[in-house]
Amino acid sequence: MRRLLISAAALAVLGGGIFWVVTAPKPLDAAQTAGLAGDVTRGESVFWAAGCASCHMAPQAKDEAQLVLAGGQRFASPFGTFLAPNISPDPDHGIGGWSLADFANALTRGVSPQGTHYFPAFPYNAYNKMQMQDLADLKAFMDTLPASATQSQPHEIPFPFNIRRSLGGWKFLFENKNWVLNGDLTEVEARGRYLVEAQAHCGECHTPRNILGGLDRSKWLAGAPNPSGKGRIPNITPAALNWSEGEIVEYLTTGFTPEFDSVGGHMVHVVENMARLPESDRASIASYLKRVPPISN
């Protein structure tokens, strides 16, 4: 019995040690952001493509107020309700005190400046494919936006999902820096892949998830239940989206479908963002969507 207890204790210590190593936050090497200078003009384009204001503006904000990234919007999910934080340049309540390394760690590694994990409601599993120069440009633009002293509100996440350390295990299982669409892509299609899979993080809503919230990449963009529990987010693979490339570009520009319907829900903000990009970017997205494997769902 004594030997059994000693063996069990040893295994528990070993298991705890493995868990601690596997779940530890893994920040970027400092050299990856060293010497990078951001360009405000290029950063504005990244800002709209990434949809930062759509989630981080205050609830019901309109027009120029959407550029005040005070946070506060609520996003329901099967794991609880997430509240978007203040990411304005305010040094105390926003991210005004962050370095570029802090910013890049948050967006590509899901790690806070304090060294804790962010919840994957923040789409760092898509942003981790972004180029470091784009991140530097994005930060340069966001630093020019109005500051807000609004206090970020805590997420409403029940036990055990609120254990931040366990998110390291989630990352170990589901973090993926590889592209979904591979093969011989044209320059236009590759640009579309970068926009869809990284900056615009389309898969975060349009791809179904498993029971632990990881994306089922075998059903990429094949539609998914709305995390709020109301309705369904549509399949946008060629199996369901039979629009021409020109019709997709028109939808992303004006919000009107070929059937003369209009965009609704959260996609209103997405279209508003896409309409601010060069038409060549919307055309790249359309070309990419026509190359995605068709999946009936």
pLDDT at 14: 53
* pLDDT tens per residue across span 42-91: 999 999 999 999 999 999 888 899 999 999 999 999 999 999 999 999 99
Sign of CA dihedral 181, 177, 121, 90: negative
Cβ-based neighbour number of residue 131 at 10 Å: 12
Residue 102 pLDDT: 97
Average of per-residue pLDDT across 4-20: 56
The closest alpha carbon to 181, from 292, 54, 258, belongs to 292
Specify the pLDDT at position 1.
64
Task: Give residue-wise pLDDT tens across range 182-222.
Answer: 999 999 999 999 999 999 999 999 999 999 999 999 999 99
Write the CA distances from 222 to 20, 205, 256, 268, integer angstroms: 36, 10, 21, 20
Q: Would you give the DSSP letter of residue 197?
A: I
Over the stretch 269-297, which tens digit does the pLDDT of each residue have? 999 999 999 999 999 999 999 999 999 97
pLDDT at residue 188 in the model = 97
Residue 281, both tokens: 């970017």
Distances (CA, A) of 195 to 26, 84, 116, 191: 25, 22, 28, 6
Residue 129 CA to residue 141 CA, distance in Å, equals 20
Task: Kindly report, residue by residue over 122-181, the tens digit of the pLDDT.
Answer: 999 999 999 999 999 999 999 999 999 999 999 999 998 999 999 999 999 999 999 999
Tens of pLDDT, residue by residue over 228-265, are 777 899 999 999 999 999 999 999 999 999 988 888 88
Q: What is the pLDDT of residue 210?
A: 94
pLDDT beyond 80 at 101: yes
DSSP 196: I
The answer to whether residue 10 scores a pLDDT higher than 80 is: no
Domain 187-291, classified CATH 1.10.760, yes or no: yes
Q: How far apart (Å, rounded) are the C-alpha atoms in residues 281 and 226?
A: 27
Q: Return the pLDDT at 15.
A: 53
**Neighbour count for residue 26 (Cβ, 10 Å):** 14
Prior bond of 160 cis (ω within 30°) = yes
The ranges assigned to domains in the chain are 35-174, 187-291
Reference 104, options 70, 140, 128, 78; nearest CA is 128
Read off φ and ψ for residue 28, nearest 5 degrees. -65, 155
> Are the beta carbons of 71 and 58 closer than 8 angstroms?
yes
Percentages helix, strand, coil for the chain (3-state, rounded to 5) are: 45, 5, 50
pLDDT of the residue at 27: 87
Q: Which residue has the tokens 């709305």?
A: 226
For 203-257, the DSSP string reads HHHHS-B-TTS-B-GGGTTS-EE-TTSSSEEPP-STTT----HHHHHHHHHHSB-
The whole-number pLDDT of residue 265 equals 85
The pLDDT of residue 18 is above 70:
no
Find the range with the poorest average confidence among 5-14, 103-112, 165-174: 5-14
Rounded CA-CA distance 141/133 in Å is: 13
Q: What angle do CA 187, 43, 76 make, to 5 degrees?
A: 95
